[in-house]
Structure 1
């Protein structure tokens, strides 16, 4: 369902539009109505609508000002403009902001339905395209994600189901219908030849690999779907017939199957957990070694624990700097950063795929280790003096700290912060913000902006309202700033400044 909001200063029109169409039947949820642009913008900051039907001529913040301000924080909102015959010039201005839907009042029901259906069709096509791109992107990260999965699963065997659920979507693992073929007596000296030949056997049977090959002490584990007993027998027979110079023992192959992929991988993890050295062989021929020794806990786990227990932000940042030195290979830094981001705890929310992909894109767009350091300082280190990864408290603390440092910015919506800064789902963040702060995000943001405006007025005795408006995130719209200021203090900015001067 797409989230829809209606904005019009005339109550009768708002109510008529709300009841004009059965929005659910065409794939929409009407989440709110607003009586002016200022109220509408607050709702956009809090409730992130997909589509906004708005009048052009409104008090406080007109339709064009609302669009201009909104697209700075969420460029994916689609606007449908409603106006009278004399507002064509406004419509031309709206086109500068990418607005393509423009309906005349009184609103024709069929025209509105046609516009909404067209928008939804476009959104579905965009979503399909985005998912395909996301799948391609995740496939390109398959090997480092597999490494992270194995390492985290070995660390957290007591909470394996939670680990598996997190990686299941990222690695496109099916719920069932996969088998593990455990090949024994495979000496490391000819493991590469053996893997190459087994891949050819699987290709001949049109069986795709589901995971990189896991190798521990003369045993190779292949994971793939094998839907019939005949396929299993054909694969087993072909493997046991393989021969290499110097080979003294015939290979053995046994199939392991459980009623779910989760249980299958859990058993594999249990089987390999007693080995100190685990090798992963990717489809492209890359090899990654995992050292699994009880006396040598994972660097990722050690680092994550050190960051979360750091005394202050300085110590945490120094710790990140000491590990992510410029001298380490960029690929190593990326793999380590990816593993740190994906560390899981029982108190954490299920990691949204979109948020994970946004972080991965940001991570893999860093072409230097120093860039990765800066990214991790933002994502892993709390600004309020303590540290943490993906914990509720750190999300809200990070959000509040970012607001304090960027009050001048016009793009401080909850959605922008969730997607571009915290890498969490906006719905989750919205609920947690209200729960922890006892107010909606827009109210908190306006409070912080107005307190800063009052501080500037008091300290500098500044009567340049335009300058103050820019300083606290209202850009080139001092009229909107004045309205919010009056709502917060009870006085227009100029009158408030005069009161301050009279106190001197």
Structure 2
């Protein structure tokens, strides 16, 4: 569902807009209403709406100022402007920020519904295009991801349910197959391409496809496919045992393993292949050897720990270049980079968008040097997170302290561009740990710093102070937020500092976490 925010300084209009449309039936969730631009901006920082319906003429921050400020934080928010006759100059200015929807007051229900429907359809098309792009990126790394899954599952069999969930998000499994066929006495000499191609032909004749590449260990081939009826299982087994190749010493035998869930099925498979040191992963075009080598999870953990232990950027760059030069082949280097990324980013908070973004950048690398450069940047962030042993919220608060003058700070921006986690996950985590919303925490920090600067410099340049604490070129908005949190305007506070004996202004205590 798309997230919707309504902003209007007139209570009657706010209430009417909230209740006159069944937003859920249109694919929208109403996340809140705001009575002015300042309140709306705080909600935008906390609730990351997709659509904002806003009046133009409002106190503190008008509609255009709200759009301008929000645009610096999140350019993907769509605004629907509401205004009266004779205010088309506002519409012209709004177009500078990509605003395409401008409705006259009193707002007609049918017109607003049509606007929302149009935007919803546009968003669906964009989401579909984005999903297709993600699928295309994941398709490029499909085999490396499957190799990584098997290696991790062999290393950590007790963690298979969570591993399965992690890799399922990355489209490692093509469907919800619950069946595997174990084909015995398959000698490696005719495994590829003869046996593999014949298996594909049999499955095609039955109208199904492999759910995972063929796994092969010492004369046993494991075919994972949706043979989910007894008829399909018997037909497949009969076709397999009829296969015969020159110099074949023993006829094939086949056994079906059927489970209630896919991760239970893989538990059975992993248990059966775990005793073997050498495992082959076989597709219709190629076969890959899996052994306890550089790409084993334990070895990857050792490599990342070695990387984290190095003190300087130069040492870390040299370490990666030495490691990857041993690989020589660029495709093997990319597979190793995928393995390291997955080993480093194993938490549920890591978003599919972040993973796809890394894979897309990785597979556009034209040299091992470029791969090292990309991986070094990713691991450096991870190194900071691990060596400092700080939670996401601690890192977020640290970033705010260092970038308090930035106008772009919002929960969504920090989730996507700094912590690389899901914004919904981060929002719940922040409220749980801090006991307040992100916008409230950020405003308190900014006003606290403003008070410190004014107390130190005692200058009348409110505009300069506003810029230093992240309010940009908007001293009026800064004054409103300052008064909300202190009970006094910046000018009155400066006056009190200069003439303490002549003023009886009482500053309300700033809240601190």
Task: Indicate conservation of the 8 Å contact 1:458/1:500, yes or no.
Answer: yes
Task: Indicate conservation of the 8 Å contact 1:174/1:261, yes or no.
Answer: no
Query: Structure 2 residue aligned with 1:336, among 339, 350, 362?
Result: 339
Q: Structure 1's 317 and 281: CA in aligned 2 closer, same or farther, altered over 3 A? A: farther
How far is 1:61 from its partner?
A: 1.1
How far is 1:203 from its partner?
A: 3.4
Residue 41 of structure 1 pairs with residue 41 of structure 2: yes
Distance 2:442 2:99 in 1: 27
Deviations 1:465-503 (A, max 9, x none): 334333332233232223223333344334444555668
SS in 1 for 2:342: helix
Deviations 1:115-157 (A, max 9, x none): 2222222223322333333333322222122122212222332
Q: Structure 1's 341 and 183: CA in aligned 2 closer, same or farther, altered over 3 A? A: same
* 1:259 corresponding residue in structure 2: 260
Give the unaligned 5+ runs of structure 2: 328-332, 501-513
* 2:278 corresponding residue in structure 1: 277
Distance 2:172 2:185 in 1: 30
- What aligned pairs does 1:94-493 form with structure 2 within 5 A after superposition? 94-171=94-171, 173=173, 176-193=176-193, 194-285=195-286, 287-291=288-292, 298-302=298-302, 324-325=320-321, 327-328=323-324, 330-343=333-346, 349=348, 352-354=351-353, 356-361=355-360, 364=363, 367-379=370-382, 381-382=384-385, 386-387=388-389, 394-459=391-456, 463-493=460-490
* 2:505 corresponding residue in structure 1: none
How far is 1:238 from its partner?
A: 4.2
Q: How many residue pairs align between the two structures? A: 487
How far is 1:16 from its partner?
A: 2.5
Deviations 1:365-386 (A, max 9, x none): 6643122211222245328x52
Distance 1:332 1:135 in 2: 18
Q: Structure 1's 275 and 413: CA in aligned 2 closer, same or farther, altered over 3 A? A: same
User: What is the CA RMSD across the aligned residues, in angstroms?
Assistant: 3.2
Give the unaligned 5+ runs of structure 1: 388-392
SS in 1 for 2:346: coil
* 1:27 corresponding residue in structure 2: 27
TM-score by length of 2: 0.84
Distance 2:39 2:137 in 1: 39
Distance 1:484 1:361 in 2: 42
Q: Which moved more, 1:37-46 or 1:235-244?
A: 235-244
How far is 1:89 from its partner?
A: 0.4
Q: Structure 1's 284 and 398: CA in aligned 2 closer, same or farther, altered over 3 A? A: farther
Distance 2:268 2:96 in 1: 58
Task: Indicate conservation of the 8 Å contact 2:337/2:371, yes or no.
Answer: no
Distance 1:5 1:73 in 2: 16
TM-score by length of 1: 0.85
How far is 1:102 from its partner?
A: 0.8
Q: Structure 1's 290 and 501: CA in aligned 2 closer, same or farther, altered over 3 A? A: farther
Distance 1:326 1:203 in 2: 45
